[in-house]
Structure 1
Amino acid sequence: MRVRIPRLALYTVLVAVTGLLLGPFGWLAVTALKSPGELAASPVHWLPDDVKWGNFSEAFNLIDFLGYARNSLIIATVYATLITLSSAWVGFGFARLTAPGKKQLFGVMLGTMMLPQIITLFPTYLIFAKLGMVDTYWPWVLWGLAGAPYLIFLFRQFFSGMPRELEEAAIVDGCGYVRIFWRIFLPQSWPVLTASFVIAFTWSWGDFLAPTLLLSTDRTTLAVAVSSMYNTPAGQPLNNLMAAGAVMYVVPILLVFLVAQRGFVAGMSTTGLK
């Protein structure tokens, strides 16, 4: 009993926390099954009297759902792939190469994580406008090539823990650092690659500000479409259809995480602080 009581208490706390985390999504799903009258009713109807499964098909057909989903998938996949590779390359440099001021530069890079996105978004918008890249997907390509401080930190921590003998043996065999990175270090880092891709994909898929600022209605992403295009002809929001669209919007992210769950967990657990 002495062992079971603490374990039972732990499970109770975990179930309670899980319920709190899943509560908003559960309420979203319930809202997606209600009629407009039930949403406006007072007092609040916690559960729908008549489940409206047709809200999902109506939400799917009211906007070009597949078209906006395709735009989001293209942007998120390209961005996540490029930023994962570029962050891995920079993390490798911080972990295995020596240069004057490397520690100071690494500290400055980590300091940029404190900057809110909104501070850098408007200056970058002006730059992209000058370059004629507004209403194109090139900003996400350039952002992907620039790397991300948090992902660079993850790769740097992982590469720092790899044996020095691997690098020395490759140098003896005549390999340069570029070949060492691509042939030895990168194939060994699949857990961090998976975690980095999932994190970056989620960033891009859930981004609302950048697509709103940089893309037109035809080229925008599903996040913008779901949050702003479910309206009546008079401009009133259709909250039940918006909730149904949001539920369908979340599904791809859940599928990506479920497929890559093992690699994601392994990647996050193998990048401890050093």
Structure 2
Amino acid sequence: MQVSRPSPSPTGTHRAAPRRRPRLSTGAIYVLLLALAALFAGPFLWLVLASLKTRDEWAAVPTHILPDQAQWGNFTHALTDINFPAYAMNSLFLATTYAVLVTLSSAAVGFGFARLRAPGKKALFLILLSTMMMPQILTLLPTYVMFSRIGLVNTYWPWVFWGLAASPYLVFLFRQFFAAIPRDLEDAAIIDGCGWLRIFVRIMLPVSRPVLITAFLLSFVWSWGDYIAPALLLDVDHTTLSVAITAWYKDPRGNAIPTVQAAAAALYVTPVMVIFLFAQRYFIRSAISSGIKG
């Protein structure tokens, strides 16, 4: 009896049938997304619920998730117990100034690393990226001493200088985006008599709108949510909302009022969340167009 054998493949070797990778169903994907959304939105929802409680409900053990009766007056106290609008304007001015300056300076540095040729450029870029690994807390004390000796404490000039110094992460973001633009566009501009500055302003910046908006929003959030630098460098009249929320919601005995602080924190976070909801498509475009490129 003759046993039949499988016919060999054209290359002389037997190939196993490719295995199909298991795929998640649409329902499983939606369940996973809902779980992640609940995980990320949970702290904000807890903050809102805490702002609607009384002080006794806040301190109750075990903690009640929902308040017995919503205390909307906590938001009124948050807006009136301190000069909330003035501190909010201080935060808005600092965050906007820093965001505009650091976005433009980072775009200029990223353009230089991506399009200009110079000896030692790669080594310098690696040094720049290595500064991202340094914790900012290490430079906090030297920064304060430096600004104190030149008389810039209790002023907004430190944020101006930080903005002009660019951000290593944003420089990397812009460098990756500009490196992906075809050089034909740049060569045509040079033939037409454009210099590097004109190429940067007239050609590169207009096409980098998603990255510009993303860089601005990221730097705005960094400055808006910063607590340490305003607490260290600014006095009571010039400080920001983040410092005011943690320091000046107190009862006559000097104890903090956590429910009013929670209401103020919810008001403090809401504008940033609203901005992100309207600008999230630019984050997606920036992530796609700034893919890793050597």
Structure 2 partner of 1:98:
117
Structure 2 partner of 1:229:
248
State the Cα deviation string for residues 202-229 of structure 1 (Å, max 9, x = none): 0000001100100001110111111221
Structure 2 partner of 1:120:
139
The answer as to whether partners of 1:33 and 1:55 remain within 8 angstroms in 2 is: yes
* Alignment of 1:74 onto 2:93: yes
Structure 2 partner of 1:47:
66
Name whichever of 183-192 and 33-42 sits farther off. Answer: 33-42
The amino acid that maps onto 1:23 is: G
**RMSD over aligned Cα atoms:** 1.3
Distance in 1 (alpha carbons) for counterparts of 2:272 and 2:65: 27
Structure 2 partner of 1:253:
272
The answer as to whether partners of 1:86 and 1:145 remain within 8 angstroms in 2 is: yes
Distance in 2 (alpha carbons) for counterparts of 1:23 and 1:157: 34
* Alignment of 1:168 onto 2:187: yes
Structure 1 partner of 2:236:
217
Distance in 2 (alpha carbons) for counterparts of 1:4 and 1:46: 37
Offset at residue 5 of structure 1 (A): 6.2
Identity, % of aligned pairs?
Answer: 55
Richer in helix (by share)? 1
> 1:137-216 counterparts in 2 under 5 A?
137-216=156-235
Offset at residue 268 of structure 1 (A): 2.2
The answer as to whether partners of 1:195 and 1:263 remain within 8 angstroms in 2 is: yes
Indicate which of 138, 148, 155 corresponds to 1:136: 155
Distance in 2 (alpha carbons) for counterparts of 1:5 and 1:142: 50
Q: Give the count of matched residue pairs.
A: 272
State the Cα deviation string for residues 185-242 of structure 1 (Å, max 9, x = none): 1111000000000000000000011001000011101111112211122221101000
Distance in 1 (alpha carbons) for counterparts of 2:264 and 2:48: 10
TM-score normalised by the chain length of structure 1: 0.96
The amino acid that maps onto 1:72 is: S
The amino acid that maps onto 2:180 is: G
Runs of 5+ unmatched residues, structure 2: 1-21
Offset at residue 41 of structure 1 (A): 2.1
Structure 1 partner of 2:19:
none
Distance in 2 (alpha carbons) for counterparts of 1:120 and 1:167: 39
Offset at residue 37 of structure 1 (A): 1.4
Distance in 2 (alpha carbons) for counterparts of 1:131 and 1:5: 60
